[in-house]
Amino acid sequence: MIYAPLFVAIERGYFADENITIEPTPIQGGSDSVVQLAAGNFDVAIGGAGAGLFNAAAQGVEFTIVAPMHSERPPLTSPLVISANRTDEIQRIADLRGKRVAINATGAATEYWLGQALEQAGLTFDDIELQTVAFPNVSAALESGTLDASILGEPLVTIAEDQGLVAVLAEDFIEGFFATYVYMSEPLLEGRPEVARGFLRAYLRACRDLQGDYMTPEIAKIVETYTQVPADVTLRASPAQYDPNGTVPLDNLTTLQAYFLERGQLEYAALLDVTAFTNTELAAEVARELDSEISNGDTSSDDYDY
């Protein structure tokens, strides 16, 4: 669901307008995307800014963040959930003291999410038993009692609620924070800058479509085409948020890096300068172009190869 801008840009012909053909390829996640990007296997990658990303940057892996992907605001796309059978016992985050609480992976943005949720209740990681459970296995673990609570992402939250398996405990502990980004390879940015610009034009056009109460049946159907998640589920799930101008939030990146450093998950001691692997100008230029075209009623594009 959080990849909706990519799907919308493909289906509405925004990449075609730039003469760019997209071949979406799913990978495991973590730092895998930027490592494969640097290896020349991809031109563009979309993924989370976790500890692996910062460690890759410290090791000299070449990649550039050119835009944010999704952010969350209440009701969150990745809330804290419990078993639907334990709502009388666990009524607030503070009730998780001494209990087993999961994220999908250490060093991922969900760890920061959980940290923020615990802080809201005056707790820390020392007050819980932190576990890692893959999102698809969370509902079963909660139902069996081997797990007391977990961060869980949409659309699995809505699907599990429909099945009577989970209840949302908290969904308001993050506000407008970006933890996923669009990365480009150096050969693309330096060797084919007009293609890079064309990709961002298409991407930002889609992001601009996904503003406000944007989750229409048509967009939900587009998401279903690429994810096999029923459109009805997507329509009811808490939606992700997107920046229409692609402004790279350097403060969010710095916050995540400092957080993972404090958690002991980075392989270096001094904070990296995040501007060394970000490009804030490209998206800003493209956004200005799009604004100008809208003002002038001109939506034509140049001819690119990809």
Q: Which two tokens stand for residue 2?
A: 């959080």
Q: What is the pLDDT along the chain (306 residues), one digit of tens a residue?
A: 899 999 999 999 999 999 999 998 887 655 578 888 988 999 999 999 999 999 999 999 999 999 999 999 999 999 999 999 999 999 999 999 999 999 999 999 999 999 999 999 999 999 999 999 999 999 999 999 999 999 999 999 999 999 999 999 999 999 999 999 999 999 999 999 999 999 999 999 999 999 999 999 999 999 999 999 999 999 999 999 999 999 999 999 999 999 999 999 999 999 999 999 999 999 999 999 999 988 777 544 433 333
- Residues 101 and 82: their CA atoms lie apart, in Å, by 9
Q: What are phi and psi of 260, to 5 degrees?
A: -70, -30
Write down the pLDDT at residue 123: 98
User: What domains sit in the chain, N to C, each tagged with a CATH number?
Assistant: 4-73+177-296 (3.40.190.10), 80-170 (3.40.190.10)
Q: Which amino acid is at 48?
A: G
- Residues 262 and 298: their CA atoms lie apart, in Å, by 49
- Residues 85 and 166: their CA atoms lie apart, in Å, by 8
The residues with which 177 forms a beta bridge, in sequence order, are 72
Write down the pLDDT at residue 298: 59
Write down the pLDDT at residue 295: 75
What is the three-class DSSP state of 268? coil
Q: What separation, in Å, do the N-terminal and C-terminal C-alpha atoms of the chain show?
A: 25
**Helix-helix angle 281-296:193-209, to 10 degrees:** 60
- Residue pair 146/139 in contact by the 8 Å Cβ criterion: no
**Chain centroid offset of residue 87 CA:** 29
- Residues 15 and 233: their CA atoms lie apart, in Å, by 27
- Residues 275 and 304: their CA atoms lie apart, in Å, by 28
How many of the other CB atoms lie within 10 Å of CB of 90?
Answer: 17
Where is 83: in which H helix or E strand?
A: strand 80-83
Write down the pLDDT at residue 304: 31
Write down the pLDDT at residue 9: 98
Write down the pLDDT at residue 29: 58
What pTM, to 2 d.p., does this model score? 0.92
- Residues 135 and 192: their CA atoms lie apart, in Å, by 38
- Residues 268 and 71: their CA atoms lie apart, in Å, by 27
- Residues 1 and 14: their CA atoms lie apart, in Å, by 19
Residue 89, exposed/middle/buried by CB under 10 A (0-12, 13-18, 19+)?
exposed
